[in-house]
Amino acid sequence: MSKWRSRELRSFSEASLAIASAIRSERHMRFHLVATVVVVAVGLWLRVGRNDWLWLLGAIAAVWIAELINTAIERTVDLVTLEIHPLAKAAKDTAAGAVLVAALFAIAAGLIVLGPPFWSRLTG
């Protein structure tokens, strides 16, 4: 195996382990994992179309990306200072705000994509 391929596989492995660590250590990551499974299951049950899957998967990815970046920022701030500092708080709060924006987008996308077919199934 080439040196390049070995480095790439190691990088992929380390990134995957970091995601798993975040899921184990962060309550919100576990919530997003459950929400992801539920949304995908409902999407499969409702047999949503290809374009709808793009919206759902894009929204899911946006939340996961924001939450992973938020976790990285929180850990970095905690590493840099143990003091309660206004800038440390602002950094953490801003990162959490990014997660909130992504989550609100995901909720809206989920309601728009899954709401009508779900309602049709319920009212039959």
Using alpha carbons, list the distances in angstroms from residue 76 to 2, 16, 69, 73: 33, 19, 10, 5
Question: In the chain, how many domains are there?
Answer: 1
What does the alpha-carbon distance between residue 67 and residue 85 come to, in Å, rounded to a whole number?
A: 22
pLDDT tens digits in sequence order for the chain, 124 residues long: 677 678 888 998 999 999 999 999 999 999 999 999 999 999 999 999 999 999 999 999 999 999 999 999 999 999 998 888 999 999 999 999 999 999 999 999 999 999 999 999 999 8
What does the alpha-carbon distance between residue 70 and residue 102 come to, in Å, rounded to a whole number?
A: 12
Is 84 assigned a ligand-binding role in the annotation? yes
Report residue 3 CA to chain centroid gap: 32
67 is catalytic: yes
Contact 96, 70 (CB under 8 A): yes
pLDDT at 5: 76
pLDDT at 1: 61
Is 64 assigned a ligand-binding role in the annotation? no
* CATH code, 33: 1.10.287.3610
pLDDT at 50: 97
Of 32, 36, 63, 67, the catalytic one is: 67
Q: Which residue range(s) make up the domain with 15?
A: 3-123
Contact 60, 106 (CB under 8 A): yes
Is 48 assigned a ligand-binding role in the annotation? yes
- Name the token pair of 96: 């959490």
